[in-house]
Amino acid sequence: MSQIDTQSLMLQMRSLAAQAEAKPVENLTKVKQTGQEKADGFADLLEKSVEAVSAEQHKAGNMKSAFEKGDPDMELSEVMLQVQKASLSFQAMTQVRNKLVEAYKTVINMPM
């Protein structure tokens, strides 16, 4: 068996401990940055989705107004289809909101 030098062993252990203490701070910073990017991405996705639903509703409203005013280019079937698309997209957005609220409540009620 080989002799273990206690001083070199302690020196190695201190060196490893110093490295271990330094690395989590760097990794934590990277995790926070990555998490923030993902959070921004999710927020952007939600914002774009709400804007898309709003655009569908405005388009349906404009088509309805044009049809009611007697625009010869507007057909009833196109107007009805656009109104249904707007309604369906709004219902889907409402369901997503409900699921997010439900998930939030579940997380909040979790014991620590």
pLDDT, one tens digit per residue, over 16-44 is: 666 666 555 555 555 555 555 555 777 88
Percent of the chain with pLDDT strictly greater than 90: 45
Give the pLDDT mean for 81-107. 92
Q: In the chain, what are the domain boundaries? A: 6-108
Q: Provide the pLDDT confidence category of residue 14 given band limits of 50, 70 and 90.
A: confident
Position 1 confidence tier, pLDDT thresholds 50, 70, 90: very low
pLDDT at residue 45, as a whole number: 85
Locate 43 and state its tokens. Answer: 């927020």
List Cβ<8 Å contacts ≥24 apart for 3-11.
none
pLDDT of residue 22: 56
Helix axes 6-68, 76-108, angle to 10 degrees: 150
pTM recorded for the entire structure: 0.58
Provide the phi-psi class of 10: left if phi over 0, else alpha when psi is between -120 and 50, else beta.
alpha
Backbone angles phi, psi at 3, to 5 degrees: -80, 135
